[in-house]
Amino acid sequence: MEDSKKREVQNPKGLNVFLEEVRRSPLTVTFLAIFTGLFLGGIIAALTSEQMYAALRVSVGEGIKVGAQAAWNTYRALFLGAFGDPAKISAAFASGDWLQINRALSPFFESLVQATPYIFAGLAVAFGFRVGLFNIGAEGQIFVGALAAVWAGVFIKGLPAIIHAPLALLIGGLGGALWGFVPGWLKAKTGAHEVIITIMMNYIAFRLSEYLLTGYLRDPNKTTPISAPIETTAWIPRLFPDPNRFHLGFFIALGIAYLVYLLLFKTTWGFELRTVGANPSAAHYAGMNIVRSTVITMSLSGMLAGLAGANEVLGVNRNLGVAFSSGYGFDSIALALLGNSHPLGVVLAALLFGFLRNGAIQMQLTAGIPIDIISIIQAMILAFIAAPAIIRTIYRLKPPKEVEVAIRSEGESA
């Protein structure tokens, strides 16, 4: 180690400079975190495969071989599920039949469909992080957004699609905004810790959705607690024929991500918000209104999460059942950190999570490996991103030149 260090100092040129940069770059840590998470996921897949234990009885080498095979099969199924089968895709293109091409490519587009709510929810958490607020309540805001959107989709009738769909999306966003406003307002006015308040708001939202779906919003023709289908005018249009569910919401999400980027990094107001996040007391002495920025940030963050719920209801499910979100809100915390709380990073991380999730759904169907393995992988990636020192120790990376801006929830007041 000592030797190579000296050499680099003596000869800071060419490849060495590049390697040095790579070793210090935070991006390296991000990639290695993802890689390590996936690698450990593979080990878990191997360790839990019954074939491996059967093979271990024969010999250790055989056991390792079969275990590696199991891990490989898991990721193969995941990859095929997420992107589609290359053989099928090329065959479809060779045949030139549109229907077949659509079928072959639909896994890929389905991954984008899965990534869409992740983009919205990840933006919600990332936006809060940038202003120093920890919105752990995205899950609840997603539920309320979905409830509001499904209400607008079912009970508002007779509007043309060009008005109805955007209106329903907006109402969904406002529902989420309300769920973000409450903790923001309480934090600003009373100092109540937003983490605890948003956790409580999550569970209030779950119970509220169960209440509404067994009563007011329930489809009277169904025995299960599920809402009536929304009016066709409220649909976010799908772009391809069935079974491809790819819909306009993906581009709306990208547009919103760009807007968030502009707001945070290209406006004075965004600068103010980020200053409040980076150094609240400096912001206060500079005359910035912390109360207002807290309330607005939590509301906007809630709105983004609400859009995730509305988008799912209007673009994918077109009705609302109990427990429809299954963890988007909590995954989005991991995702926002992975994307370094930057809109572009969030979009990339959301794509990764979307492909993982869709791949895992297919994997569960084809290879019989429970989908929950991706939660394990995501948790490990989150741990490595949150504690980059672990990754640096494993791979002997050097600390970054600039001081990393750590995300920290304030602990003084609960």
Partner 1 sequence: MTAQTMGRNSVQYISPTRERVMGVLFLVAAVAMWFFFLRNTEPGVVTTFGMTPGGSKVVAPDWVFETSFALQVLIFLTAFLGVYQLARGFKQRTNLILGIVSGFFIFAFLAWGTAGVSLNLAGLLRVMVIRSVPLTLGAFSGILCERSGVFNIAIEGMMLTAAFTATLFGSVTQNIWIGLVSGMLSGLLLGGVLAVLAIKYKVDQIIAGTVINIFSTGLTSFLSAKFLQKYQELNNPGRFPNWDFPGLSQIPFIGPIFFSHNLYVYTMYALLIVLTVALFYTRWGLRLRSVGEHPKAADTLGIPVNRTRYMAVLLGGLMAGFAGTYFTLGSVGRFDEVLTAGRGFIALAAMIFGNWNPLGAFGAGLLFGFSDSLAGKLTILRVPIHNKFLEMAPYLVTIIVLAGVIGRGQPPAAGGKPYEKE
Binding site for partner 1 (CB under 8 A): 44, 48, 134, 136, 186, 189-190, 192-193, 195-197, 199-204, 206-208, 210-211, 214-215, 327, 330-331, 333-334, 337, 369-370, 372-380, 382-383, 386-387, 389-390, 406-414
Residues facing residue 227 across a β-bridge = 218
Is 311:121 a contact under the CB 8 Å cutoff? no
Closest contact distance (angstroms) between CB of 217 and partner 1 is 13
388 cis-preceded (ω within 30 degrees of 0) = no
Closest contact distance (angstroms) between CB of 166 and partner 1 is 31
Nearer to partner 1 by Cβ, of 14 and 215: the residue is 215
Nearest to 382 by CA among 95, 62, 122: 122
Nearer to partner 1 by Cβ, of 48 and 317: the residue is 48
- Cα distance between residue 111 and residue 72, in whole Å: 21
Closest contact distance (angstroms) between CB of 224 and partner 1 is 16
Closest contact distance (angstroms) between CB of 40 and partner 1 is 11
Nearer to partner 1 by Cβ, of 53 and 98: the residue is 53
Closest contact distance (angstroms) between CB of 44 and partner 1 is 8
Closest contact distance (angstroms) between CB of 216 and partner 1 is 11
CA dist list (Å): 202 to 137, 300, 340 = 6, 17, 24
Tokens matching residue 194: 């937003």
Nearer to partner 1 by Cβ, of 85 and 210: the residue is 210
Is 105:80 a contact under the CB 8 Å cutoff? no
| CA angle, residues 147, 196, 404, in degrees to nearest 5 | 105
Closest contact distance (angstroms) between CB of 184 and partner 1 is 12
Nearer to partner 1 by Cβ, of 139 and 272: the residue is 139
Closest contact distance (angstroms) between CB of 385 and partner 1 is 9
User: What type of residue is 234?
Assistant: A
Nearer to partner 1 by Cβ, of 49 and 106: the residue is 49
Which 3-state string (H, E, C) describes 267-313?
CHHHHHHHHHHHCHHHHHHCCCCHHHHHHHHHHHHHHHHHHHHHHHH
Nearer to partner 1 by Cβ, of 4 and 413: the residue is 413
* Segment 204-212 long-range contacts (CB within 8 Å, at least 24 positions apart): 204/140, 205/139, 205/140, 205/141, 205/143, 205/144, 205/179, 206/140, 206/143, 206/323, 208/143, 208/144, 208/147, 209/143, 209/144, 209/146, 209/147, 209/320, 209/322, 210/322, 212/147
Nearer to partner 1 by Cβ, of 233 and 332: the residue is 332
